[in-house]
Amino acid sequence: MLVLDQLNRGDRPLRILAWGLVAGFLLLLGGLWRVQVIAGDRYRQRQENQSYRTVRLPAMRGRIVDRNGMAFAENQPRYRLDVYLDELLPQFAAKERQLRLELLAARGVVPAPTPTLWSRITSRFSRQPKRVVITATEREWLKRQARFTVLSNVIAQVNQRLGVEVVKTEQDLYTHWSRQRALPFPILNKLTPAQVAILTEQGWSIPGVELELVPVRHYPHGTLGAHIIGAVRPHDSSSEDDQAFDYRLRDYRGLVGLESAYDRQLRGLPGAKSILINSSGYRHRQGEIVLAEPVMGHSLVTTLDLGLQRVVEKSLAQVGNDERGAVVVLDTRNGDLLAVASAPAYEPNDWIDGISHDEYARLLDPKMKYLFNRATYGSYNPGSTFKIVTALACFEHGILTTENVHDRMRTLGYYRIGRNHTIDDTASAGEYDFNRAFIKSSNAYFIDHALRLGIEPLLDYARRLHLGEKPGLRLHEEATGQIPAVEDVPAGGIRGKTANLSIGQELTLTPVQLALVVGAVANGGSLFWPRLIDRIEPSDPLSEAPVEQFQSGQIRSQLNIRREHLEILRAAMRDDVASEEGTGKAARVKDFAVCGKTGTAEIKAGRRLIDKITWFASFAPYESPRYAVVVMIESGSSGGGTCAPVARRIYEYIRDRERGAGNLGQN
């Protein structure tokens, strides 16, 4: 050939070119060998590494504490057991091959031995038997079953090692695998100290399983203050704030109470991390980078007193017979709520990991209503405690004066409205002036004076006390109560409506609303906005974030009642407890002058009595009022017999504590 001839003749330039081509070809072969053989695994891994994904890291919730810094709600470290699915990939693949062979064997196909190079070459020229086809649906089923079988074996080892019974369904795994494959799969949310000790002492050899320390919400006092403090629920779904993230780790959202009303402040700011995932959607641990640390939520400092709250709930529990009721303790000087209790209560810690259907059904019992906050959301007929409002309205409009409060009125043990309607009197027939009518709770006396007053002034005064409006606690569970409208009353029914209204049978209010009214009577006429939160402050003491302070003693309105008239009412409330004739004498406390008014509202279906709502509305001490205590018990016997003893136990604690440590209402 021409080129070879030239090379043989010693053509120097052509020979140099030829050797250059040979050298380049050898260099090319060497580079190809280095890429495909020496660095093949590394480049193959790079090829699999497709992209990064961002993960939302939840922040710890802020604490909820009482006025002295004692925690109602805080965070507690908890060990969680996770499975990293990427570490089980070889087992997934091996199990899938096994299941495929079993499927083929079930169809009568014997797997052929591994083909040699010669058999592969000759197979191109020989007739091959018909292949058994495994459909795409069957392949997907094999993959799912392989993953679930391997995971079930791992969980079985965990159960055996720790003595637990963790159960995960195939759907649980598939949901996680299809949506959050790059994140660990949780199999045990709460490990006991003994289980953690087993893992650390014996070592850990189950592939893919790791311990992780996570903070969770914790209520150290269980049911104490549950209705007002609230509870949280697991939150996994995305929101508008999470659109920048590919994945989110579980956090918690407020369900009820303060946890819900101040959820945004308590929740804090989420952090973020970036994880590197491969083409199969699994993570690479070496590719995890924390982009931003989460910021813990703010803390709520409440006006509540944890010690008083405990005594209030203990006193309420002593009613017995599956008590259903509420207690509110208010600082009459500024409107601060010192204790708010509702019974029966629920266990907020049970909601941390999600509550079972059976337990949730129990909590929704139509009679017990465990989740219902009776103190702030329960609207009830106030019964004779409304005679406080009737008396105020009568003083305001001159029906009662300092001159006529001692005038006696003879009652018959009932009051007749028209020809056919009578209202029974809780007091026996006899002669009553204002004081005796108040402490004996004479319906006839107050009905007579209310009829002279008229329904419109009475309703107007009730509205001036902001009954029928939300008190302003900033809670979602806050009722307005119900005040009737005059225009809705038939002309022929005005007198009956007025009579029933004057003794607390034609309207509803909440225990908190009644506590505010009693507080205004106690402090000289100032109706305060109730205060439940003292301040919202950063959880980090070194933070420069501002403290949000809620001002105390915000006056909503004034009673504008003459001092001497108010003193007549206050003295009557004192005598209701101090006098042997008083219906509230069971609330009497030695060396601590309690002033109160009992009440019993009957709930009827037609003429049939189906339940009673019993009350005791009070303040103390008489000389310098500082506390208002309102007790409401459903299905009680009477206000004096059921509710007054509860108030007595609370006031005894307040008296003893004041003697030892000063006023409860001081921070």
CA distance 430 to 514: 30
Query: In the numeric block, which tokens belong to residue 352?
Result: 């941390």
Angle at 170 between CA 166 and CA 175, to 5 degrees: 105
Integer Rg of the chain from CA: 39
Do the Cβ atoms of 469 and 450 come closer than 8 Å? no
pLDDT digits (tens, 9 = 90+) for 30-45: 777 676 666 656 655 5
Q: Which of 267, 302, 337 is the last residue of a domain?
A: 302
Per-residue model confidence (pLDDT) at position 618: 98
23 part of a folded domain: no
15 part of a folded domain: no
Per-residue model confidence (pLDDT) at position 49: 46
Per-residue model confidence (pLDDT) at position 431: 96
CA distance 312 to 329: 9
CA distance 62 to 215: 12
Percent of the chain with pLDDT over 90: 54
CA distance 382 to 420: 26
Do the Cβ atoms of 300 and 64 come closer than 8 Å? yes
Question: Is a pLDDT exceeding 90 seen at residue 303?
Answer: yes
- 151 CB-near residues (< 8 Å, 6+ apart): 83, 85, 88, 168, 173, 185
Per-residue model confidence (pLDDT) at position 11: 61
Distance of CA 90 to the CA centre of its chain: 43
Host H or E run for residue 284 = strand 283-292
Least confident of 210-214, 454-458, 494-498: 210-214
pLDDT digits (tens, 9 = 90+) for 401-418: 999 999 999 999 999 987
Beta strands in 71-141 (DSSP E): 71-83
The CATH number that applies at residue 297 is 3.90.1310.10
CA distance 287 to 49: 10
pLDDT digits (tens, 9 = 90+) for 195-223: 888 877 765 677 778 787 788 899 999 99
Strand order in the sheet with 595-605: 337-343, 325-331, 627-634, 608-620, 595-605
Q: State whether 197 and 241 are in the same domain.
A: yes
Least confident of 77-81, 363-367, 531-535: 77-81
Q: Which of 247, 273, 302 is the last residue of a domain?
A: 302
Do the Cβ atoms of 497 and 489 come closer than 8 Å? yes
Domain that residue 84 falls in: 52-109+133-302
Per-residue model confidence (pLDDT) at position 48: 47
Terminal CA-CA length for the chain: 109
Query: In the numeric block, which tokens belong to residue 10?
Result: 């010693």
Q: How far is CA 475 from CA 341, 364, 461, 549, in A?
A: 15, 21, 26, 17
Give the 3-state secondary structure percentages of the chain, helix then strand then coil, rounded to 5. 40, 25, 35
Q: State whether 298 and 311 are in the same domain.
A: no
CA distance 334 to 567: 20
Least confident of 249-258, 554-563, 647-656: 249-258
Question: Is a pLDDT exceeding 60 seen at residue 584?
Answer: yes
Amino acid 452 reads R
408 part of a folded domain: yes
Q: Is 301 helix (H, G, I), strand (E, B) or coil?
A: strand
CA distance 105 to 99: 10
249: number of Cβ within 10 Å: 18
Across the range 259-274, mean pLDDT stands at: 87
CA distance 160 to 148: 18
Percent of the chain with pLDDT over 70: 84
Question: Is a pLDDT exceeding 70 seen at residue 491?
Answer: yes
Amino acid 95 reads K
Residue, of 368 and 419, whose pLDDT is higher: 368
Q: State whether 88 and 213 are in the same domain.
A: yes
Q: Pairing between strand 608-620 and 627-634? A: antiparallel
Q: State whether 264 and 317 are in the same domain.
A: no
370 part of a folded domain: no
Q: Is 550 helix (H, G, I), strand (E, B) or coil?
A: coil
351 part of a folded domain: no
Q: How far is CA 56 from CA 35, 185, 245, 312, 645, in A?
A: 38, 16, 6, 42, 53
Dihedral (CA of 313, 316, 322, 325) sign: negative
pLDDT digits (tens, 9 = 90+) for 20-33: 777 777 777 777 76
Q: How far is CA 323 from CA 128, 333, 443, 583, in A?
A: 83, 30, 28, 21
Q: State whether 251 and 329 are in the same domain.
A: no
Counting every residue written for the chain, the total comes to 667
Per-residue model confidence (pLDDT) at position 159: 86
Q: State whether 319 and 392 are in the same domain.
A: yes
Please state the φ and ψ torsions of residue 611, each to the nearest 5 degrees.
Answer: -170, 165
Confidence of residue 78 (pLDDT cuts 50, 70, 90): confident
36 part of a folded domain: no
Do the Cβ atoms of 134 and 103 come closer than 8 Å? yes
- 460 CB-near residues (< 8 Å, 6+ apart): 393
CB-count exposure of residue 300 (10 Å: 0-12, 13-18, 19+): buried
Q: Best-predicted range by mean pLDDT among 107-116, 265-274, 391-400, 489-498?
A: 391-400
Question: Is a pLDDT exceeding 50 seen at residue 326?
Answer: yes
475 part of a folded domain: yes
Per-residue model confidence (pLDDT) at position 101: 84
> Tokens 């050898």 belong to which residue?
26
CA distance 501 to 465: 15
Q: State whether 187 and 273 are in the same domain.
A: yes
Q: Pairing between strand 595-605 and 608-620? A: antiparallel
The CATH number that applies at residue 437 is 3.40.710.10
Confidence of residue 282 (pLDDT cuts 50, 70, 90): low
Dmax (CA) for the chain in angstroms is: 151
DSSP bridge pairs for 290: 273
Instruction: Give the count of domains, the chain.
Output: 2
Do the Cβ atoms of 393 and 457 come closer than 8 Å? yes
Q: State whether 462 and 581 are in the same domain.
A: yes
Nearest Cα to Cα of residue 647 among 614, 624, 623, 603:
614
Q: State whether 554 and 624 are in the same domain.
A: yes
Residue, of 204 and 482, whose pLDDT is higher: 482
Question: Is a pLDDT exceeding 60 seen at residue 284?
Answer: no
Confidence of residue 662 (pLDDT cuts 50, 70, 90): low
Per-residue model confidence (pLDDT) at position 203: 56
Q: Which of 271, 286, 302 is the last residue of a domain?
A: 302
- 494 CB-near residues (< 8 Å, 6+ apart): 455
CB-count exposure of residue 626 (10 Å: 0-12, 13-18, 19+): buried
CA distance 414 to 418: 13
CB contact burial 110-138 (16+ within 10 A = b; e otherwise): eeeeeeeeeeeeeeeeeeeeeeeeeeeee
Confidence of residue 287 (pLDDT cuts 50, 70, 90): low
Question: Is a pLDDT exceeding 90 seen at residue 349?
Answer: yes
Q: State whether 469 and 434 are in the same domain.
A: yes
141 part of a folded domain: yes
Q: State whether 333 and 251 are in the same domain.
A: no
326: number of Cβ within 10 Å: 27
Q: State whether 324 and 237 are in the same domain.
A: no
- pTM for this one? 0.83
Residue, of 318 and 50, whose pLDDT is higher: 318
